[in-house]
Each structure stands twice: as structure tokens, then as C-alpha cells.
């Protein structure tokens, strides 16, 4: 008895497009990724990328991040295809990663990365995950911490709508008596509101309220 074996349908691979101005880079990376076999890989110069994506739906674009115009390419691609995943290779510094992240790049491979690293970054990006080396991650965290230290500390609490009104009037230079007349409440009540504002805002003096308001730190309770 002859047994007929039906071949299982071939799994459709995610479509990837490598974009670089340097043909040696894009073709070498394309060949390396094709050998790994996780992606259906094509390659293109930047000026041809949009036409290729229009011709065949693409899941992820792998950008040459070593080129100065890579961020412009990223912005243009996401403007046309907002759900496209972007990976950058050849990244030289954590500053480049920070800027790239702002432009929508979700995975980064350093200038010393290998083809396997690019493949891993692409697969993680397709799963909705971010990718960068442990050292790069440490640099990014250090940078974020440094930025946080330069910012005005957030208020310890939230102002009520009435406290927001009083704070605005204090910022305009009105006295407690004038605020009481405007809001038709007693000066003692205004004094209590000012005390609460200072406490919630972690401020030491009445004169500091106006400056904090200008920084947009005081928020009305929702």
C-alpha cells in the first residue's frame, strides 16, 4: 500500500527590507540574514525603499544607522507606514540611540554587532519588544537618571480646583485680602489654602508659587 505524504504548507516569513546607501552593507547583511532563514529579506538604496514597500507589504525595515541621514529615512518611512517596525544597525553611541528612539526606531545594534544580532533585534521588534546591548542599556539608564536630576521635582500631591484658583491669584501678586474679596471667602480660608498649596507643592515661601505655576507643575485634581 502506497502512502501519500502531503507536504505541510511553507511558513510565511516576515518580510524585511534592508535600507542603506552602501551597497556592500545592504547586500552583505541581506545575504547573512537569508542564511539564518528567519526573514524574507530584500535590500534597497534609500531612494528605492518606498517603492519597494508599496510593491510588497513589508513588516520591518533594517536601517543603516551609521549614516547621517538614517533618522530622516526613519521619519519618512513611519510617516508613510506608521505601523512599520524599524531596526537600526551600526549605531555608534547611546546619544544616537536616544535620538533614534525619538524618531521611532525600536531596536539598535551597535557598530560591533554581528548579523545574528541584527536578526535577533529584528525578531524581537516584530514581537513588539525593544533590543539593545546590555552596555547600551546601562548608558541609556545613566542618561535618563542624569536628565531627571536636572528637572524641577514634582509636587507632593495635587491641588484642588479652589487651591488652583488661589495659587493663580497669588502668582499674580494679590494679597490674601484681595483674594478673599475676589472669591468671596474669608481671609482665614485663603490663608489655609495658601498653606496647603505650599505644603503640597513642597515650596518654602509664597513668592515661589508664581514661579512653579510658570513651569506648569501645579495640576488641578481630576
| CATH superfamily for domain 15-149 | Response regulator (3.40.50.2300)
Q: What share of the chain is helix, strand, coil (3-state, %, to 5)?
A: 50, 15, 35
* Entry pTM: 0.61
Least confident of 88-102, 138-152, 178-192: 138-152
Provide the CA 169 distance to its chain's centre, in angstroms: 37
Q: How does 99-118 read in b/e, with b if 16+ C-beta sit within 10 Å?
A: ebbebbbbbbbbeebebebb
Tell me which architecture the domain covering 161-214 has in CATH. Orthogonal Bundle (1.10)
pLDDT at 142: 79
**pLDDT digit string, tens, across residues 79-127:** 999 999 999 999 877 778 878 888 889 999 988 889 999 999 999 999 9
**pLDDT digit string, tens, across residues 45-63:** 999 999 999 999 999 999 9
Name which of 112, 148, 158, 152 is nearest 132 in CA terms: 112
Domain ranges within the chain, ordered by starting residue = 15-149, 161-214
The residue behind cell 506608521 is 82
As a whole number, the mean pLDDT across the chain is 83
Amino acid at each position: 500500500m502506497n502512502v501519500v505524504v502531503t507536504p505541510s504548507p511553507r511558513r510565511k516569513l516576515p518580510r524585511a527590507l534592508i535600507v542603506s546607501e552602501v551597497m556592500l552593507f545592504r547586500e552583505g547583511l541581506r545575504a547573512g540574514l537569508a542564511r539564518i532563514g528567519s526573514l524574507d529579506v530584500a535590500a534597497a538604496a534609500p531612494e528605492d525603499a518606498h517603492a519597494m514597500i508599496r510593491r510588497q507589504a513589508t513588516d520591518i525595515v533594517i536601517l543603516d544607522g551609521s549614516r547621517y541621514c538614517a533618522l530622516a529615512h526613519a521619519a519618512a518611512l513611519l510617516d508613510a507606514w506608521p505601523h512599520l517596525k524599524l531596526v537600526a544597525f551600526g549605531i555608534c553611541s547611546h546619544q544616537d540611540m536616544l535620538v533614534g528612539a525619538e524618531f521611532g526606531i525600536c531596536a539598535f545594534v551597535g557598530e560591533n554587532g554581528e548579523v545574528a544580532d541584527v536578526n535577533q533585534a529584528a525578531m524581537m521588534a516584530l514581537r513588539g519588544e525593544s533590543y539593545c546591548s546590555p552596555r547600551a542599556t546601562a548608558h541609556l539608564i545613566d542618561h535618563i537618571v542624569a536628565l531627571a536630576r536636572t528637572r524641577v521635582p514634582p509636587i507632593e500631591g495635587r491641588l484642588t480646583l479652589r487651591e488652583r484658583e488661589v495659587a493663580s491669584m497669588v502668582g499674580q501678586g494679590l494679597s490674601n485680602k484681595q483674594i478673599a474679596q475676589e472669591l468671596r471667602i474669608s481671609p482665614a480660608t485663603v490663608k489655609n489654602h495658601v498653606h496647603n498649596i505650599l505644603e503640597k507643592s513642597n515650596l518654602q515661601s509664597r513668592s515661589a508659587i508664581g514661579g512653579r505655576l510658570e513651569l506648569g507643575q501645579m495640576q488641578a485634581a481630576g
